Amino acid sequence: MLNGKTAVVTGGSRGIGAAVARKLASKGADIAIVYSSDDNAAMTVCEEIKKDFSVNCRTYRCDVSDFEEAKKTVTAIKNNFGSIYILVNNAGITRDGLCAMMSEEDFSRVIDVNLVGAFNMIRHCIAGFIRQRGGRIINISSVSGIMGNAGQANYSASKAGLIGLTKSIARELAPRGVTCNAIAPGFILTDMTKDMAQQDEIKARIPLGSIGSAEDVACAAAFLVEASYVTGEVLRVDGGLAM
Ligand code: NAP
């Protein structure tokens, strides 16, 4: 059980992040939800978590791609909760388009939120992890970071970068008893994917034959929090898509 431990979930106001926050709360963790714009969504998830699981939960509006904003947010979370045991870097965006047409801004913004954002959060949490000689870092990557995806050069690069970040941090922090792993979801039904027109075509490519749920990813995150002898791993949650 995670009673007395605090989990920070970036992008915890919707989709996969909200499911991860609820799953860790169901195991007793106190929850800090970090989000960028939708106050109502964050407050709703937070109120439900407090009601359903009787744990402490707070929301923090922060653009994780901003180094100083991320620093202020981590400081505020530590002040409110005492310490951080679990960091789930889940905040992510897409700005899809073929590389031949992609603007520099669209390439950079996706790298800044998805990859630099994870670095920023880890960078500001790391001293605490080292001091307490324990902790869990989980980075939400994607099968696009493993396989590449036409129309997602920016997104795939950010998600592949997260895998390299994960393995380096795993090596740096292993001597301190801190694990760092990545989850690579395939197609998961959330706001990010709900408009995909060709869902039947997608399902046909998935060996298990269906689109995944946010709960599927949340279960994998809960496993990685429990698994003290697993680090530097990339756990695919993709119905077999990328095998
Ligand atoms: P989503 O429903 O679009 O939710 C994105 C979340 O990230 C929201 O809570 C959003 O907050 C937050 N966010 C966006 N930009 C942010 C920023 N700059 N700073 C802080 N928070 C920010 O996404 P999802 O589908 O649940 O995906 C979650 C993660 O899983 C992403 O990293 C995504 O790349 C990855 N993933 C998803 C799938 C899939 O099929 N859905 C597959 C593979 C990987 P606001 O709403 O307040 O802006």
- Whether 109 has a pLDDT exceeding 60, the answer reads yes
- Per residue in 191-240, pLDDT (tens digit) is 888 877 568 889 999 999 999 999 999 999 999 999 999 999 999 999 99
pLDDT of res. 85: 98
Residue nearest to atom 18 of ligand 1 (CA): 63
Q: How confident is the model at residue 105 (pLDDT cuts 50, 70, 90)?
A: very high
CA 130 – ligand 1 centroid, Å: 28
Q: Residue 118 domain-assigned? A: yes
Q: How does DSSP assign the chain, residue by residue?
A: --TT-EEEEETTTSHHHHHHHHHHHHTT-EEEEEESS-HHHHHHHHHHHHHHH---EEEEE--TTSHHHHHHHHHHHHHHHS---EEEE-------B-GGG--HHHHHHHHIIIIIHHHHHHHHHHHHHHHHT-EEEEEE--HHHHH--TTBHHHHHHHHHHHHHHHHHHHHHGGGTEEEEEEEE-SB-STTTTT-TTHHHHHHHSTT-S-B-HHHHHHHHHHHHH-TT--S-EEEESTTTT-
Regarding the beta carbon of 36 and ligand 1, being less than 6 Å apart is answered: yes
Domain count, the chain: 1
Regarding the beta carbon of 91 and ligand 1, being less than 6 Å apart is answered: yes
pLDDT of res. 82: 98
Is 155 catalytic? The answer is yes
pLDDT of res. 183: 99
pLDDT of res. 72: 98
CA 54 – ligand 1 centroid, Å: 26
- Per residue in 126-181, pLDDT (tens digit) is 999 999 999 999 999 999 999 999 999 999 999 999 999 999 999 999 999 999 99
Range of the domain at 148: 6-237
Q: Residue 1 domain-assigned? A: no
Regarding the beta carbon of 185 and ligand 1, being less than 6 Å apart is answered: yes
pLDDT of res. 86: 99
Q: Residue 243 domain-assigned? A: no
Q: Residue 242 domain-assigned? A: no
Q: Residue 124 domain-assigned? A: yes
CA 175 – ligand 1 centroid, Å: 31
pLDDT of res. 181: 99
Here the CATH number for the domain that contains residue 223 is 3.40.50.720
| % of the chain exceeding 70 in pLDDT | 99
- Per residue in 38-97, pLDDT (tens digit) is 999 999 999 999 999 999 999 999 999 999 999 999 999 999 999 999 999 999 999 999
What's the mean per-residue pLDDT of the chain? 97
pLDDT of res. 197: 56
The pick from 63, 74, 90, 193 for probing ligand 1's pocket by mutation, whose C-beta has the most ligand atoms within 8 angstroms, reads 90
The pLDDT of 117-125, averaged and rounded, is 99
